[in-house]
Copies of this chain bind each other. A is one copy, B any other.
Amino acid sequence: MTPVAEKNADRVSRRQVDKFAERRDQLAEAALQTLSELGYARTSLREIAQNSEFSHGVLHYYFSDKVDLITHCVRHYKARCVTRYDGVVATAQTSEELKAGFGRVLVDSLRGEASMHRLWYDLRSQSLFEESFRADVAAIDKSLENMIWRIVSRYAELAGRTITIAPPTMYAVFDGLFQQSLARYLSGDDSAADALADNVDQILALVIPAR
């Protein structure tokens, strides 16, 4: 095989790999939509296929089994949700601005992506039972923790304060707040979103106290 042929073969293979990965993501997207509507327990492969433009058999062409599919979904989900707050952190000039931006994104995300959030909590619960999900879920949880930490530590920096709470604890607190707000919002209480912003303000004032 000549170097040129090798290059071409490489290009072809690369293209195939890309197409393969693309379709996997496309199917993962359909799966995520189905999962966020029905929850893990009630989502079947046939239902997922019906939310895509393909038949149910194709899922086993792109994924080895159901766990493989769900795992890919989780990773695909991560890629989207973790960077949501980075813009706010990067552009905010004052602590007040950062706090307002943080709250705004939080509220918007709660209102606009409630179904995806409940799926996240569902899958996180599943990972407490199913060991095969645990590593990926833990990785996402960690990156969410990092995200919260970037925000809070930057906030403290802008405000000229110091933090005495460790990142995991900080994340746990805000996650608890968000989770409760999500439950209220999904049960029809639209004011839960605004209440979340207030609660975050209040907790932020406590965990980063004036010295």
Interface residues of A (CB under 8 A from B): 38-42, 118, 121-122, 124-130, 134, 138, 141, 164-165, 168-169, 171-177, 179-183, 186-187, 199, 202-203, 206-207, 209
Contact = CB atoms under 8 A, between A and B. Distances in A.
Given A165-B202, A172-B176, A177-B173, A129 B138 contact: no
A134 B187 contact: yes
A161 to B, nearest CB: 13
Contacts of A186: 128
B126 A39 contact: yes
Given A40-B41, A176-B177, A187-B138, A199 B169 contact: yes
Given A39-B129, A125-B118, A125-B122, A177 B169 contact: yes
Contact of A126 (B41, B175, B181, B182): B41
Contacts of A164: 202
Contacts of A126: 39, 41, 122
Nearest to A145: B180
Contacts of A122: 125-126, 128-129
Contacts of A138: 183, 187
